[in-house]
Amino acid sequence: MTDAAFPHRHLLGIQGLAPSEITSLLDLAEGYVEQNRSSDKRKNLLRGRTVINLFYENSTRTRTSFELAGKRLGADVINMQSAGSSVQKGETLIDTAMTLNAMHLDVLVVRHPDSGAVKLLSEKVNCAVINGGDGSHEHPTQALLDALTIRRRKGKLTGLNVAICGDVRHSRVARSNIYLLNAMGAHVRLIGPRTLLPSGVDRMGVEVFHDMRKGLADVDVIMMLRIQNERMSGNFIPSIREYFHFFGLDREKLGLAKPDAVIMHPGPMNRGVEIDSDVADDVERSLIRSQVEMGVAVRMACLDMLTRGLPQSEGDA
């Protein structure tokens, strides 16, 4: 039995979640923000539960965030990096799933470089699965933490103008955010050179701009995306210099948005590539550090919500 507020066994993506389900997760996360700020950060909600972070891509921030979230709820958290493991030795995803099943874990957090790989794993394992980012497909906990960050600053999501800027083509963060912000009634704009905006993206309920000056006008939230050098399989942009000139966020371009517009970035930032240090470090406008804090709270909420549906005895040693 899953919880009525969130009737899903896994969290594989934002697409398909109802607005009420998103709100339930965000509300639950609010409570964890307060808990994380108090001196007693631990709760024993997940005592006896096992959470495995299975990361097929290098990640420090997301993995640490999930690890902290699991530990603060009292779970046993184990990190599995693909480098050097059987995964690298050619074990298939399905064989890995069989191995994990034999370990009787409760929650599996997966990050994988291929779109759809987390879904494939979720079909083969007995535990709850959280998508920690799959290829260019989805990164649902990032979208949730972004939403929580915006909601706490702006008091709402509905009706806000949110600009997502940069490499939308390769970004799972952009896709999850488009789904979430649309579901919650925000107006989403995408800004970037045409090579970084994939075909058909204009049919995803967004307004598309190729000029920061036009796209940023009257915007409440600016989400900058990382230029993912490791994924730019071709020459999508001529040079970093040219990219920053037209699409990098600096003080001047920021001036085109609303006076109280806030800046977000999923990290890690490339200073001087997509964002100028001057604005990234502006404590008044930049919510980048707050995003990291919300990340832990949101992941605690996700772990909490998904384990509510699990049988009680499972995982006890």
Binding site for another protein (CB under 8 A): 15, 92-94, 112, 114-117, 119-120, 134-138, 172, 175, 198-201, 203-204, 233
Given the complex with another protein, which of 8 and 43 has the nearer CB atom? 8
Contact between residue 154 and residue 212 where contact means Cβ atoms under 8 Å apart:
no
Given the complex with another protein, which of 148 and 183 has the nearer CB atom? 183
What's the angle, vertex CA 202, arms to CA 147 and CA 17, rounded to 5? 40
Structure-token pair, residue 305: 């919500």
Contact between residue 177 and residue 157 where contact means Cβ atoms under 8 Å apart:
no
- Closest CB 133 distance from another protein, rounded Å: 10
Residues 107, 108, 111, 117: is their CA dihedral positive or negative?
Answer: negative
- Closest CB 310 distance from another protein, rounded Å: 24
- Closest CB 116 distance from another protein, rounded Å: 3
- Closest CB 46 distance from another protein, rounded Å: 29
Helix, coil or strand: residue 229: helix
- Closest CB 80 distance from another protein, rounded Å: 17
Given the complex with another protein, which of 135 and 295 has the nearer CB atom? 135
Q: Which residues line the annotated binding site?
A: 61-62, 89, 111, 139, 142, 172, 226, 267-268
Q: Locate all alpha helices (DSSP H) within the chain, ordered by sequence.
A: 19-37, 61-72, 93-102, 117-122, 140-154, 172-183, 212-215, 240-247, 251-254, 277-280, 288-307
Given the complex with another protein, which of 15 and 64 has the nearer CB atom? 15
Task: Give one DSSP letter per residue of 21-60, joined into a string.
Answer: HHHHHHHHHHHHHHHHHSS-----TTTT-EEEEEESS--S
Given the complex with another protein, which of 234 and 259 has the nearer CB atom? 234
Q: Which residues line the annotated binding site for carbamoyl phosphate?
A: 61-62, 111, 139, 142, 267-268
